[in-house]
Structure 1
Amino acid sequence: MHTASTTELTWRKSSYSGNGTDCVEVSDDLPGAVPVRDSKRTSGPNLMFPATSWTAFIGEIHAERIS
């Protein structure tokens, strides 16, 4: 897996965060992995998900099995 610092990544606000202050940011920069962080704590910790797991999670949201 890629070992670059997550500070080097391009982050975007998740479309599921809405316009509120509780926002999740994700990066599409790492092949095979999806880093996720709290937009209020950009220098704080982040979670790293395998891309296949993230895709399955988003699919469940689209199917409205997770809200």
Structure 2
Amino acid sequence: MIVRASLEDTSGDRCVDLIEGEAGWAWVECRRDPEDGHGWRRLHPPRGGFADRTTAERDAGGVVGWMGAPDS
């Protein structure tokens, strides 16, 4: 699996990674706490099985509140 894009919120504390792998595209929301120095942590397992990046990003936008729905 390869992260093809990482979309950050305006605070820089949350992101959604768009991942491409053998089973198609997936996404996962991550957060970071600057005070602990760990870096990014996944909030859940990747949600996948999408045919393309656009579909994965659209699904993430419908689930992740700070993203909103991306343009069609």
Q: TM-score, normalised by structure 2?
A: 0.43
Point out the structure with the larger strand share.
2
